[in-house]
A and B are shown apart, each in its own frame.
Chain A
């Protein structure tokens, strides 16, 4: 991932008075994110705002000199953090988060209305509608969570891997996409033994196209190692283009490739469609995007570019109908927490558990989103409640 420096501060003489491990990594935001994601996956959690100072305080470690220095840092850091958070939440992301919080509060208010005002003439309680509300909230949270990678993808470039049997024409296709002869093309199958990487501009996207060694079972040790590496590339790829030869029968594909073909992150390019003999028959019924091309004549290349752009849009969330947003690690953690609460709320509704438990989960979800937009006072739920229901005795 990165070469990092670990610095261990043993308690009680550390800043907080507890054992502290500092990890210094390279400043690249992509690396920082990777490190952070890895730590979170291993069970670490983000510090709450002010948590380090609080721990230092509770452990009696905030002495006079430290205090002087710390005050300036807290102010400066919180100003910066505030500014950064404000910038992040400006524009499309801010609007979507606001709408999400609003919808969640509204759903909460509806549940609370039935709890706090049983004597009122409210519409009949409708658990199916609450579940529909929750489904909509979950879909939006899922959508927002999925944008977590968008920022990195845009910065780093989408990885598109050309995969296929030897001599299917992967290298010719790379040259076509790159616009010049990047790869050595030869009649001899298996010319590309390792992989080649080439940056290519594709509409609004900067992508990295990888040409890989052809997949075949036979061959020498060197070639088998090449196949291995091709599959590794494919596994990491954001998008796989399976290149097949229209004049040859369908090749046997490793399971990994077949799995990938079942997702949206794959395109089938049937090459050599200019040649008269056709032996290729697609054996799968999947709704895989299929483009007929000829790397030789350039036929179908525009269509392939169009399909690739459409897929890239989908993956990076830069589709024309929706504004581009990307959540950061902190947002993603909060969204995941809210998602979990709402899933539990939905299950409680489905299984006919008391409404008070549903309400309890929903309020935890509100609390989780507070980590993004700042503490949400429970008064906000009451505001919605009184605005939506005629309560009054």
Chain B
């Protein structure tokens, strides 16, 4: 039967093969759903459009959660990583996070090959031009080739490609990424379907030619001698070098942690500041060419000099883009200044006086669909069976995109199967915090994850992601039985050791007391024989016991309201006593639970009381 046939639709069609689309397609296919992944360009699958790195504080946490839920980002980063560093080692175990520089090409080739080898998954190169709707629901998508694809569900992961517009000074080029096209007609189709779109902006720095950089004048930043990886299973074991759960042909990659390369640090000079200031009027951002809102945490170099005028110099990282290329990414030098100014600016930086630019920096404006239009499952409230994930939801970052993609892919399958969607709690995962923030509060700038967004971050230490998310992975069948079994054993060992250390007597109390008081104790040799993952998690739970218990009490107090569902058909404007302002806010967000309702900004406790009474009345009548 033809795959294009209307009579045998796919279960899930994913539009876009970036970091969100890949995880969505893999999750759906691995759950056994018939899945189609459409990409505008087979050669840019899994492209790292901005910096060649995965992870970092909070983002690294997300990557580990993706691994815990059977996603691909962690393993792909481990086997194509060329430098590994554990950030925040001194700030405490909960906020520590792994980060890796990756080989850009190896990263995307391996992902492409992984998709090709995945059972239940078809990949096809076609530009999606619009949605096909039937009675208000999405039933497929139309492509620029005039081929229609039918599916029970559609996941839109188009990144910055919707009416993407790139700016370099006053030069404007259509496209979602330098060298790629812009999806022009899909925006119109989404608007027609009733989905509201707004504009955001982001930017990327220039890339330089390695042999034109004087590294001897830069400060070297090496990887960790003992690298920390993203994947929970040891990918360094030869037998498990490539994804153990999905055997197939040999894929690109190397022993994680082998032959690490360095990054390099330099700073802007006084001359750099002068050049930027003198040319501010020629920057796309400062001349008013750009209407989209950019991220505060990723300001352009123009912004840095203007807003923080008292800072003498700004730090820049030169990051290698791969093993087999001399291209370097200049982290910290995002700009929309014209090309001639960019070159002078770069050459004003110590060590880069003779640097050759391979690609210019640019700013890109694109459409995003404000995520308050989504349910916590990432399904559209407006168009049933349509899911959104990634940058189109107003986020920024590969990790944020991938986390949403995985959830959207799983939930598309759950939609088809009539199963309970995967909605992670704020106390369970950074992915849960992110999606709750997005669908409850929306975002005014490209949303990036920070640990400070997670009020229960002590519960979300990166090392516990697999154990924490085990019940979800188990329920949804996201992991192989081998991995499930292994994680269960790990969970049990951790629990047994925590219990034992807190019970058995040692110097001045129990082992636990000794650890908490920082007494020098020799722990039982059987404990020291456990894996480092188990030992670290046990120590974390024992040391932080009081704090973790306090967090759990807070979570428990909030949980009861999170369990109360708000009926979808509720008409907020007719609730007696509810202020119109609050009613409109609630109506705009359509919270699914009372907990979510209470997190909407501007909705106060008395509004929640009224809502509760109103729900009780409906139940009664």
| Contact surface of A with B, Cβ cutoff 8 Å | 48-50, 53-54, 57-58, 62-64, 67-68, 70-72, 74-75, 77-78, 81, 112, 114-121, 354-357, 359-360, 363, 374-375, 377-379, 381-382, 385-386, 390-393
Contact = CB atoms under 8 A, between A and B. Distances in A.
Closest 8 CB pairs of A and B: A354-B92, A356-B92, A78-B606, A49-B605, A75-B577, A62-B616, A121-B315, A390-B308
Categorize the interface residue count of chain B.
35 or more
Contact of A378 (B58, B314, B455): B455
A382 B575 CA distance: 34
A48 B561 CA distance: 13
Contacts of A117: 57
B283 interface: no
B90 A62 contact: no
Candidate in A64, A72, A121 with the most chain B CB atoms within 10 angstroms: A121
B608 interface: yes
B281 interface: no
A115 B57 contact: yes
A87 B606 CA distance: 19
Given A118-B91, A382-B452, A48 B617 contact: no
Contacts of B297: 386, 391-392
Interface of B: 51, 56-58, 87-88, 90-95, 267, 296-299, 303-304, 307-308, 311, 314-315, 317, 331-332, 334, 441, 450-453, 455, 457-458, 547, 560-561, 564, 575-577, 601, 604-606, 608-610, 612-617, 620-621
A74 B613 contact: yes
Contacts of A375: 604
A372 to B, nearest CB: 14
Given A64-B620, A382-B450, A53 B332 contact: no
21 contacts: A50-B612, A62-B617, A67-B614, A68-B617, A71-B577, A74-B606, A78-B609, A81-B606, A115-B57, A115-B452, A118-B87, A118-B91, A119-B317, A354-B91, A357-B92, A357-B547, A360-B458, A374-B604, A390-B308, A392-B332, A393-B51
A67 B617 contact: yes
B561 A54 contact: yes
Contacts of B311: 390
Given A74-B609, A390-B304, A64 B617 contact: yes
B57 A118 contact: yes
A50 B594 CA distance: 13
A379 B599 CA distance: 12
A385 to B, nearest CB: 8
B439 to A, nearest CB: 15
B608 A50 contact: yes
Nearest to A117: B57
Contacts of B458: 356-357, 360
B570 to A, nearest CB: 14
A374 B607 CA distance: 13
A359 B452 contact: yes
A166 B10 CA distance: 102
A50 B299 CA distance: 42
A393 B57 CA distance: 13
Given A378-B453, A382-B450, A393-B298, A53 B613 contact: yes
Given A70-B613, A72-B577, A74-B613, A356 B91 contact: yes
Contacts of A359: 452
Contacts of B334: 392
Nearest to A375: B604
B609 to A, nearest CB: 4
Given A75-B577, A381-B452, A116 B609 contact: no
B331 A393 contact: yes
Given A359-B452, A392-B303, 15 more contacts: A57-B613, A57-B616, A58-B564, A64-B617, A67-B613, A71-B577, A75-B576, A115-B451, A116-B57, A118-B88, A375-B604, A378-B453, A386-B296, A390-B304, A393-B51
Contacts of B610: 71, 74-75
Contacts of A77: 606
Contact of B605 (A48, A62, A381): A48
A283 to B, nearest CB: 47
Contact of B317 (A49, A54, A363, A393): A393
B307 A390 contact: yes
Nearest to B85: A119
Contact of A356 (B95, B303, B450, B612): B95
Contacts of A121: 267, 314-315
Contacts of A71: 575-577, 610, 613-614
Contacts of B441: 379
A77 B610 CA distance: 12
A356 B540 CA distance: 13
Contacts of A386: 296-297
B296 A57 contact: no
A116 B620 contact: no
Contacts of B451: 112, 115-116, 356
Contacts of A62: 612-613, 616-617
A353 B90 CA distance: 10
A72 B620 CA distance: 18
Nearest to B617: A67
Given A64-B617, A390-B307, A75 B606 contact: yes
Contacts of A67: 613-614, 616-617, 620
A293 to B, nearest CB: 56
Nearest to A58: B560
Nearest to B301: A392
Contacts of A58: 560, 564
Contacts of A356: 91-95, 451, 457-458
A116 B87 contact: no
Contacts of A70: 613
Candidate in B307, B441, B452, B453 with the most chain A CB atoms within 10 angstroms: B452
A234 B230 CA distance: 69
A334 to B, nearest CB: 15
B92 A355 contact: yes
B606 A50 contact: yes
Given A64-B620, A377-B601, A390 B606 contact: no
A355 B92 CA distance: 7
Contacts of A374: 604
B376 to A, nearest CB: 19
Contacts of A81: 606
A112 B138 CA distance: 43
A114 B91 contact: yes
B283 to A, nearest CB: 15
Given A71-B576, A71-B610, A392-B304, A50 B91 contact: no
A57 B93 CA distance: 40
A322 to B, nearest CB: 32
A63 B621 CA distance: 10
A119 B92 CA distance: 16
A393 B621 CA distance: 56
Contacts of B547: 357, 360
Contacts of B605: 48-50, 78
Contacts of A377: 601
Nearest to B94: A356
Contacts of B93: 354, 356
A391 B307 CA distance: 11
A379 B612 CA distance: 27
Contacts of B564: 57-58
Nearest to A61: B616
Contacts of A360: 457-458, 547
A391 B560 CA distance: 38
B302 to A, nearest CB: 11
Nearest to A367: B455
B304 A57 contact: no
Contacts of A57: 564, 612-613, 615-616
A121 to B, nearest CB: 4
Contacts of B332: 392-393
B604 A49 contact: yes
A116 B450 contact: yes
